Amino acid sequence: MTYREALRPTDAEAVRQLVSATGFFRPAEVEIAAELVDETLARGADSGYQFLFADDDARSDALAGYACFGRVPATESGFDLYWIAVAPSLHRRGLGSRLLAAVEARCREQGGRRLYVDTSGRPQYSPTRDYYRNNGFIVAAVFPDFYADGDDKVVLSKPL
């Protein structure tokens, strides 16, 4: 597994395939994930988004996982984790935790002291919430019916 931060033109499509393959995201969400890559390819650091890609050394054309994160505007030391995803074939091997730890290290290098992530309160996201809790996040807030009726927003945070 090799980590890299620099974006390649092929990453938008690779992210689209990876995020779609997890089965956790709606088509519109998959498109947003890919658009953030394209926007950052076009605008560079001005986009406000940073990326960390885990390339699968065994398959040169495939991503093993990736994360998208960035500073929370108007805060001194807050970072948001916008996306983190691991290829389903590589689940349950600790890659998600290693990728998250690598993101946290990059936030700390930039003065980050707290990392936030939003997820859904729906039952199908229970493994997602467990993943964050198992990696040191706590639930900071729950917004009832935020995304839709019966679909709460759960905000988790972790000190860095």
Task: Report if residue 22 touches a copy of itself, rule: CB under 8 A.
Answer: no
DSSP code for 122: S
Task: Indicate which single residue of 140, 152, 156, 158 sits in contact with a copy of itself (rule: CB under 8 A).
Answer: 140
- Residue number with CB closer to a copy of itself (3 or 146): 146
Binding segment toward a copy of itself, per CB under 8 A, in 1-9, 26-34, 57-65, 121-129: 26-34
Q: Rounding to the nearest 10 degrees, give the CA dihedral for residues 14, 16, 17, 18.
A: 80
Using rule CB under 8 A, residue 35 touches a copy of itself: no
Phi, psi of 63 (to 5 degrees): -85, 140
Toward a copy of itself, which CB reaches closer, 9 or 159?
Answer: 159
Helix (H, G, I), strand (E, B) or coil at 49: coil
Please, how many CA atoms are within 13 Å of residue 6, restricted to the half-sphere of its CB?
Answer: 1
**Beta-carbon-side half-sphere exposure of residue 8 (alpha carbons within 13 Å):** 14
**Distance of closest approach, residue 58 Cβ to a copy of itself, in angstroms:** 34
Which listed residue (3, 24, 125, 146) binds a copy of itself by CB under 8 A? 146
Question: If we measure between CA atoms, which residue out of 54, 48, 55, 59 comes closest to residue 102?
Answer: 54
Query: Under the criterion CB under 8 A, does residue 76 sit at the interface with a copy of itself?
Result: yes
Judged by the rule CB under 8 A, the positions of this chain that interact with a copy of itself are: 28-29, 32, 72-78, 114, 116, 140-143, 145-149, 155, 157
